[in-house]
Amino acid sequence: MVTATPVVEATGITKRFGSTVALDGAGIRIEAGQTHALVGRNGAGKSTLVSVLTGLQAADEGEVRFGGEPAPRLADRDAWRRRVACVYQKSTIIPELTVAENLYLNRHDRGRGGLISWRTTRERARELLETWSVDVDVRAPARELDVEQRQFVEIARALSFGARFIILDEPTAQLDAAAISRLFSRITDLQRQGVTFLFISHHLQEIYEICDTVTVFRDARHILTAAVDELPRGELVAAMTGEAPADTGVRRRGPAPDAAHVLDVAGLSLPGSYDDVSFRVRAGEIVGLAGAASSGRIEIAETVVGLRTAAGGTVEIAGTRPRPGSVPAALAAGVGFVPQDRHHQGLVPGMSIADNGTLTIPERLGRAGFIDGRRRDGFAEAMIDGLAIKAPGPGLPVSGLSGGNQQKVVMARALANDPALLVLVNPTAGVDVRSKEFLLGKVEEVAESGTGVLVASDELDDLRLCDRVLVVFQGRVVAETARGWHDHRLVAAMEGVDLDV
């Protein structure tokens, strides 16, 4: 029997950065026309493998072959682009340029005298997007595109070079359920047209929904490759973590019946975002705001913490009404906050773990506006221990941490001021399975200590720990469900579907 030549095959890949072994004899084989998943905890070696497969890094040992042929020289970037492209979690689209300019950057058609023919460039861009069924105006500035549109434009750009092997790095991290469904439909359509995908995600349910094969990396090594439909989820988690799946059957007690309200939202309205929203959160209670990204749930949470100013209504935190639209006032009233996007809203990349983790508590670090470095580092070391942050010390820049550990730093800062109310927006987006499990466990631990928690998310695992879930649809709270809900009913409510009709 003749075995088909794989689209890409990496064998015996070893890559070291100083004393750190990022890949240790790892490998992967990806067959044509498949969507192949690559999973593993942060630090497992996934990103390093991607850098090797895309020619950004040379392996110290091992070989990469495309269609049976050796990979090009690293310097031959055009040859790499014809073989492979990666759509990263952080978009590489340039916001100041139009869609057409992004698609054909440094490949513009030129007319007489070597001048760029913008009309021809736009025509080529329009034809390219039509070929791959991408509905975007080529004249539009890229900054006007949403996350979903940017991803489709990047995929089309990759295909324009001739690549038929596309790496998708956490493509669903910032998409709502409807956008994810459209992305998966597009992936399936492109597979039928001969495109092969390597799909990297921390959301295991997505692996089972869209992927044919899954490869697991752990501690820089290849652990297993298996057909998705033949691998039970428990075995997949065990392969990723090196442990048996955790027993999650024990639940916390929930809030005391006479617990005081730490959040009282009354008649909150913001035109275009939400209307007449009212709810309360008690001390020790976890309340979820579920809904699509455009439902208004994020805007409600951001209003509570002072990032937005409501046009009407009130927010009361632990008996205090902070000045609307003021983050410092919300923090002073007793709010801790984990924002939606840790890269742009949650961290200062060039600053250390210690500096990032203590940004909200400068008054505890010294007198008269001066910071005592030893006191700051002492706080940070306690945070590192309390949230199991994997780092050599508090002085390490947060940019040197994995995604899961960066999110732990954001969580540590949110908890640094001992909040009466902890507000979380998509708290486990883009983190690995074990970090996700740890962070959600920390949320339950914080609630058990008496802190009220508000979780705005469309990730079902985030919402499962809630005592109550409020469903937000088109800016209104349309349903409330107690713990123990069924997935299909909650998702239907989030999409505005009434299953009882």
pLDDT at 345: 80
Q: What is the rounded end-to-end Cα distance, in angstroms, of the chain? A: 54
Query: How far lies 355's CA from each of 221, 335, 348, 380, 384, in Å?
Result: 34, 19, 9, 8, 13
**Co-location of 161 and 266 in the same domain:** no
DSSP H helices, 10-146, are 46-53, 77-81, 99-103, 118-131
**Co-location of 447 and 315 in the same domain:** yes
**Co-location of 231 and 266 in the same domain:** no
Query: Where is the domain boundary, 241, 272, 288?
Result: 241
> Domain limits at 149?
8-93+145-241
The verdict on residue 124 lying in a domain is no
**Co-location of 150 and 195 in the same domain:** yes
Q: Which residues of 138-171 are buried (b: 16+ CB within 10 A; e: fewer)?
A: beeebeebebbbbbbbbbbbbbbeebbbbbbbbb
**Co-location of 27 and 79 in the same domain:** yes
Q: What is the H or E stretch that residue 266 is in?
A: strand 261-270
Single-letter amino acid code for the residue at 338: V
The verdict on residue 161 lying in a domain is yes
Which of 315, 269, 274, 265 lies closest to 292 in space, CA to CA? Answer: 274
SS3 state at 492: helix
Residue 445: count of CB within 10 angstroms of its CB:
12
Query: Where is the domain boundary, 213, 241, 269?
Result: 241
Q: Which residues of 248-266 are buried (b: 16+ CB within 10 A; e: fewer)?
A: eeeeeebbeeeeebbbbbe
Q: Which two tokens stand for residue 59?
A: 């392996």
**Co-location of 158 and 223 in the same domain:** yes
**Co-location of 335 and 474 in the same domain:** yes
pLDDT at 216: 94
**Co-location of 71 and 191 in the same domain:** yes
pLDDT at 42: 67
Residue 291 CA to residue 321 CA, distance in Å, equals 26
Burial class (CB in 10 A: 0-12, 13-18, 19+), 35: buried
pLDDT at 139: 92
The verdict on residue 138 lying in a domain is no
**Co-location of 222 and 265 in the same domain:** no
**How would you write the pLDDT of the chain (501 residues) with one tens digit per residue?**
456 899 999 999 999 988 788 999 999 999 999 999 999 876 789 989 999 999 999 999 999 999 999 999 999 998 998 999 898 877 888 989 999 998 888 877 676 767 878 888 889 889 888 888 888 999 999 999 888 888 889 888 888 888 899 999 888 877 777 788 888 988 998 898 899 999 998 777 789 999 999 999 988 999 999 999 999 888 887 888 776 544 444 456 778 888 999 999 999 999 989 999 999 999 999 999 998 777 899 999 999 999 999 999 999 999 999 999 999 999 999 999 999 888 778 888 888 888 888 887 787 777 777 787 888 888 888 888 888 888 888 888 888 887 788 889 999 888 988 999 999 999 988 777 778 888 999 999 999 999 999 999 988 889 999 999 999 988 999 999 998 888 778 877 886 766 565
CB 104 within 8 A of CB 125: yes
Q: Determine how β-strand 312-317 pairs with β-strand 261-270.
A: antiparallel
The verdict on residue 501 lying in a domain is no
**Co-location of 224 and 342 in the same domain:** no
**Co-location of 180 and 214 in the same domain:** yes
Could you write out the DSSP letters of every residue in 115-133?
-B-HHHHHHHHHHHHHHTT
The verdict on residue 54 lying in a domain is yes
The verdict on residue 108 lying in a domain is no
The verdict on residue 131 lying in a domain is no
Burial class (CB in 10 A: 0-12, 13-18, 19+), 51: middle
The verdict on residue 419 lying in a domain is yes
pTM (predicted TM-score): 0.61
Query: Where is the domain boundary, 206, 241, 276?
Result: 241
Residue 467 CA to residue 398 CA, distance in Å, equals 33
- DSSP secondary structure letter of residue 346: I
CATH number reported for the structural domain that contains residue 440 in this entry: 3.40.50.300
Which of 430, 432, 463 lies closest to 340 in space, CA to CA? Answer: 430
pLDDT at 421: 96
**Co-location of 229 and 288 in the same domain:** no
Residue 199 CA to residue 211 CA, distance in Å, equals 8
| Total domains in the fold of the chain | 2
